[in-house]
Amino acid sequence: MNDKQIQALLRASSDLVGCLNEDVVIRSILREAGKVVQAESCAVILVDETSDECFFYIATGPWQNLLRKIRFRKELGIAGQVMESGEPALVADTGAEPRHYRGVDAQTGIETKSLLCAPLKMGNRVMGVVEAINKRKEVQFNPEDLHLLTIFSNFAAVAISNARAFDRCRTDASAFRLAADRGDVFLGESQVMQRVWSMIRKVAQTNATVLITGESGTGKEVLASAIHRQGPRRDRPYICVNCAALEPNLLASELFGHEEGAFTGATSTRIGRFELAHGGTLFLDEIADTEPAFQASLLRVLETHSFERLGGSRPVRSDARVIAATNHDLDAAVRNGTFREDLFHRLNVVTFHVPPLRERRTDVVGFVNYFAQRLAAETNTPPVQFVPEALQALVDYSWPGNVREVKNLVERVTVLAEDRTVTLTELLDLFPCLRASALSRGARSAGTGKAESLWDTERQIIVDTLEASGWNQSRAARSLGISRHHLRYRVRKYGILVPDRAERRG
């Protein structure tokens, strides 16, 4: 490889990392490729997955306007062969090559004498090809030309992947802005959550790092996205990474990206989430589940806003606001040595704690109604409603899964309920965990002014459960979450008549 070829590769790679405009980057790569292999024209050919036809996405050279209108079946020609095999191809003389598709020449008036064709790969998927036709000075392409075009093809694949990822982020950011404008965020109406909302509005206008704590399912990610939507970064990317969902050796690659050849399987350069979140917000969920080595790297990025991709040496800067979350006690993690103290202090600039739902029961009905309305809009059906006794059972339940469990319950009821108005009996059938909660509520309320209605409610729960269990007291006790002895006591207490076996069979 001579100096001119190396310089062309460097210019193309510089455009690749310096611009996210897909059209501009691809044209630049094709121009440099055309210079290096001395081709009259270069083009990116992609597949229209709706029609399974190939089309010229971007072309350079004298025929670019003619080629833009051409489409042909995927299986035709050298391009189709390369897409099928994933291997590059060199055709020194198209006149002697029976696989060459002459339809494009017939439609455009181009005389294709020789060509190079390299696959555009995204992982294991071939999404198209880069093609170069007719070497200048009436000479033929050679294997070195094919090798060089394949390098440029890899650049083009990365450019397309990066630009489309950026477009998805921008689309998501616009969607978040629209949702925020509609007020499509619900964190609760209790006093403690009203204070959280007030704090969100203040913190959102700053670039301060935020740490969100709370049990699993309490809505930490919703709070993080609310901070992003309320602030000046709302139109820029909002990127989420669940640190616990990735193997430790993959987490650094996911966040910081990697260069081609950085490790086995790194067949191309990959931009990391920090880079994609430039100008926006990066949400790191389950931050306590990271390894000390990664914590050290993260600390450096938070302090310098700079990092290197794995296998690279060029510093990459990222102006991404970081919001981290955990369901662990980070103070305890620092004390026992599993979490770096310096990183804890760097994250702990502004802290939000989201209380579990059992500590803010006044929010339960609000969440039930919110999810019911949202599911109704998604399914184009009337929202489910709950009779007062059913709502009270929901309020009194402990919700170990927090808001996520509320959402799952409302989804289940929306799908399975016989009617849009859900009774207590039907709710208990669909969500048996509520039975034990209802029973314990009845026991706690004994002797109050509400004893008579609760007596009736608890008696009916036991009767309904026994009937659903075929009057098998062992099964009924398991459904209610109480012992068989306890169930027998309550059957006697409420004077419930248990039918004999003959009546049950009848």
Q: Which residue has the tokens 């060029």?
A: 314
Helix (H) or strand (E) holding 468: helix 451-468
Q: What backbone torsions phi and psi does residue 24 show, to the nearest 5 degrees?
A: -65, -45
| Position 443 pLDDT exceeds 60 | no
What local confidence, expressed as pLDDT, does residue 88 receive? 93
What local confidence, expressed as pLDDT, does residue 160 receive? 78
Q: Which residue has the tokens 């102006």?
A: 319
C-alpha span between 467 and 452 (Å, rounded): 23
What local confidence, expressed as pLDDT, does residue 452 receive? 41
Q: How confident is the model at residue 314 (pLDDT cuts 50, 70, 90)?
A: confident
What's 498's DSSP letter? Answer: P
Two structure tokens written together for 78:
């050298």
What local confidence, expressed as pLDDT, does residue 185 receive? 66
| Position 94 pLDDT exceeds 70 | yes
What local confidence, expressed as pLDDT, does residue 115 receive? 92
Q: How confident is the model at residue 345 (pLDDT cuts 50, 70, 90)?
A: very high
What's 395's DSSP letter? Answer: H
| Position 277 pLDDT exceeds 80 | yes
Two structure tokens written together for 386:
């709950």
* 453 and 441 Cβ atoms separated by less than 8 Å: no
What's 238's DSSP letter? Answer: E
C-alpha span between 461 and 434 (Å, rounded): 10
The torsion defined by the Cα of 393, 395, 396 and 401, in degrees rounded to 10, comes to 110
Quote the mean pLDDT of the chain.
82
What local confidence, expressed as pLDDT, does residue 404 receive? 92
The pLDDT of 378-399, averaged and rounded, is 86
* Lowest mean per-residue pLDDT among 191-195, 425-429, 460-464, 501-505: 501-505
Q: How confident is the model at residue 130 (pLDDT cuts 50, 70, 90)?
A: very high
C-alpha span between 53 and 104 (Å, rounded): 13
66-70, 167-171, 266-270, 335-339: which is most confident:
335-339
| Position 368 pLDDT exceeds 60 | yes
| Position 307 pLDDT exceeds 70 | yes
Q: Which residue has the tokens 């978040």?
A: 176
What local confidence, expressed as pLDDT, does residue 446 receive? 45
| Position 445 pLDDT exceeds 50 | no
The pLDDT of 480-506, averaged and rounded, is 69
* Lowest mean per-residue pLDDT among 119-123, 152-156, 267-271, 354-358: 267-271
What local confidence, expressed as pLDDT, does residue 11 receive? 72
Range list of β-strands (E), 250-300? 281-285
Two structure tokens written together for 463:
């009767």
What local confidence, expressed as pLDDT, does residue 263 receive? 67
> What is the number of other CB atoms lying within 10 angstroms of the CB of residue 108?
16
Q: Which residue has the tokens 């499509």?
A: 184
Q: What is the percent of the chain where pLDDT is above 70?
A: 83
Two structure tokens written together for 35:
């210079």
C-alpha span between 150 and 118 (Å, rounded): 5
The pLDDT of 458-479, averaged and rounded, is 78
Q: What would the DSSP string read from start to end of 95-151?
A: GG-TT---HHHHHH------EEEEEEEETTEEEEEEEEEEEGGG----HHHHHHHHH
483's CB contacts (< 8 A; 6+ apart) are 477
What local confidence, expressed as pLDDT, does residue 291 receive? 92
| Position 183 pLDDT exceeds 70 | no
* 48 and 76 Cβ atoms separated by less than 8 Å: no
Q: How confident is the model at residue 232 (pLDDT cuts 50, 70, 90)?
A: very high
What local confidence, expressed as pLDDT, does residue 448 receive? 44
Burial class (CB in 10 A: 0-12, 13-18, 19+), 449: exposed
28's CB contacts (< 8 A; 6+ apart) are 11, 12, 15, 19
pTM of the predicted model, to two decimals? 0.54
Two structure tokens written together for 485:
């002895």
301's CB contacts (< 8 A; 6+ apart) are 256, 274, 307, 318
* Bridge partner list, 89: 117
The pLDDT of 232-260, averaged and rounded, is 87
Q: How confident is the model at residue 453 (pLDDT cuts 50, 70, 90)?
A: very low
Pairing mode, strands 421-422 and 385-386: parallel
What local confidence, expressed as pLDDT, does residue 212 receive? 96
Domains of the chain, CATH where assigned: 3-163 (3.30.450.40), 185-355 (3.40.50.300), 380-505 (no CATH)
pLDDT per position as a tens digit, 292-306 = 999 999 999 999 998
